[in-house]
Amino acid sequence: MSTKNEKIALDIEAYLKEHENKDMLRFLTCGSVDDGKSTLIGRMLYDSKMIFDDQLSAAESESEKYGTTGEKIDMALLVDGLQSEREQGITIDVAYRFFTTENRKFIIADTPGHEQYTRNMVTGASTADVAIILIDARKGILTQTRRHSFIVNLLGIEHVIVAINKMDLVDFSQDVFNEIKQAYGELADELGIKNTYYIPLSALNGDNVVDRSTHTPWHTGKPLLELLDNMDISKEIKEEDFRFAVQYVNRPNLDFRGFCGTIASGSVKVGDDITVLPSGKTTKIKSIINAGDITEKNREATTKEAYAPMAITITTKDEVDISRGDMLVHTKALPRVSNSLKVMLVWMDESSMQVGKTYDIKRGTSVMPGVFEHINYKIDVNTYERTEVEKLELNDIASCKMVLTRPIAADKYKENRQTGSFIVVDRITNNTVGAGMIVDVAKREEETKVKVHREYTEAEIALNKYIRENFPEWNCKEV
């Protein structure tokens, strides 16, 4: 019995107490077909006891059918999910897996590495704090390594673990390891990746996965799991400005009007001066409900202060007009408000992106029509070369100018992953056709300054809404 199991058996309550204070880390695994991604994940789940006997025996019987490892159980079959995939022996979609240690709960985004699956990798990377980039020790840095690193960096992942796998096939050679490490270091510098960590690995045999391998006495770094378990992933100060997108207006009766949402960044206290964007109206925080504090007995629990990523409900001192999609921020730390944005766009659909065509842009909780007015350049994910193009195809990544029918309060993605990101939805098929990251926000303050003070009738408001929804190309403003 392991020490962990002993603790569970002896004093479960103490064990539970310890686990109450775990935090969470999301990571992405990138590698091309056959680099050993599934094997590595299977190994982590297996070694951290996330695989049960029945799943193991299912994998055993499947190993005989589809496996590639001869006598041993194919760890990859523990994780490769959909049937079609099992038959083809490849990973074609983003899959999420979970395991836990005493310090952390981990969420793995397992994504395919081929160029035609760039969109899947982008998807997996969007929520990850850390990326593991697999490199086959025999092959070294390949085009795909450049591609994976580019995407990881583009999506704002600040910690990259370079897992040099299949070390067993190069006799655990320190020279091979060092060569790859040096070459990757140059790539990381070129891209500006902040933190890199290197580990010599054999996913198949478990070297340096959970325990330090005896085959690599020259390696002083931590084994993979220990590294993941202790990594400091706290954010840059800049992400700490208070940002809160209003998600839902809660109005159970005339006495209560609460604005529900999730704090994207920073913290907020009762009494704070806040500004509603894009309208620019100001008020103070009257009360805060942290939904997490609500119990069956106390359905009115309030708190003095709340912070990201809590799901809260705010009430305000004054009766200002606030609705879904508005952003509440501290009056002393305002973001820019504009309808003109410079963005990096990843195209995710088979039908190409057309310059000037109207798409729905969903950023946080607001959805509004917008167009890509201009493609500045398309970037090659393998060579990082920039080219001029007229339109974008599936998996293309490009710098574009995006113009929305309404101004929004926006941050740069580099500074705030929540308020700086958006998805693009096709207005006919409703598919998610693109994902974007805000690079810069134009100073177009005149947009919000011009305000006509006039009372509108309900019919006029309805007409305005009709025009905005059906004729976005008129750029009609909301009244």
Residue 69 sits in the site that holds ligand GDP (CB under 6 A): yes
Lookup: tokens for 307: 């912070």
Which of 202/283 has CB closer to ligand GDP? 202
Residue 223 sits in the site that holds other proteins (CB under 8 A): no
The partner in contact with residue 447, picked from Mg ion, other proteins, ligand GDP, none with C-beta cut-offs of 5 to 8 angstroms by kind, is none
For residue 251, give Cα distances in angstroms to 248, 313, 339: 9, 11, 30
Angstrom distance (rounded) from CA 303 to CA 225: 37
Residue 170 sits in the site that holds ligand GDP (CB under 6 A): no
User: Do 57 and 3 form a contact (C-beta atoms < 8 A)?
Assistant: no
* # of chain residues touching ligand GDP (CB under 6 A): 19
The partner in contact with residue 309, picked from Mg ion, ligand GDP, other proteins, none with C-beta cut-offs of 5 to 8 angstroms by kind, is other proteins
Which of 79/308 has CB closer to Mg ion? 79
Residue type, 313: T
DSSP letters of 170-201?
GTT-HHHHHHHHHHHHHHHHHHT--EEEEEE-
Which position among 31, 206, 266, 335 is part of the footprint of other proteins (CB under 8 A)? Answer: 266
Residue 36 sits in the site that holds ligand GDP (CB under 6 A): yes
State the residue number with the nearest CB to Mg ion. Answer: 38
DSSP reduced 3-state for 430:
coil
Which position among 120, 145, 165, 419 is part of the footprint of ligand GDP (CB under 6 A)? Answer: 165
Which position among 48, 250, 282, 376 is part of the footprint of other proteins (CB under 8 A)? Answer: 250
In angstroms, what is the minimal distance from the CB of 84 to other proteins?
8
Residues 284-323 that bind other proteins (CB under 8 A): 289, 291-292, 294-296, 299-301, 307-311, 313
In angstroms, what is the minimal distance from the CB of 69 to ligand GDP?
5
Residues 25-44 that bind Mg ion (CB under 5 A): 38
User: Do 28 and 124 form a contact (C-beta atoms < 8 A)?
Assistant: yes
The partner in contact with residue 406, picked from Mg ion, ligand GDP, other proteins, none with C-beta cut-offs of 5 to 8 angstroms by kind, is none
Residues 414-453 that bind other proteins (CB under 8 A): 417-418, 421-423, 425, 430-432, 435
Angstrom distance (rounded) from CA 186 to CA 179: 11
CA angle, 7 then 27 then 341, to 5°: 145
User: Do 257 and 250 form a contact (C-beta atoms < 8 A)?
Assistant: yes
Angstrom distance (rounded) from CA 280 to CA 257: 20
Residue 76 sits in the site that holds ligand GDP (CB under 6 A): yes
Task: Single out the residue of 370, 448, 352 nearest to residue 409, CA to CA.
Answer: 448
Residue type, 233: I
Q: 């159970």: which residue's tokens?
A: 252
In angstroms, what is the minimal distance from the CB of 136 to ligand GDP?
9
**Residue 163 buriedness (CB in 10 A; 0-12 / 13-18 / 19+):** buried
Residue 369 sits in the site that holds other proteins (CB under 8 A): no
Which of 91/313 has CB closer to ligand GDP? 91
Which residues contact Mg ion by CB under 5 A? 38, 91
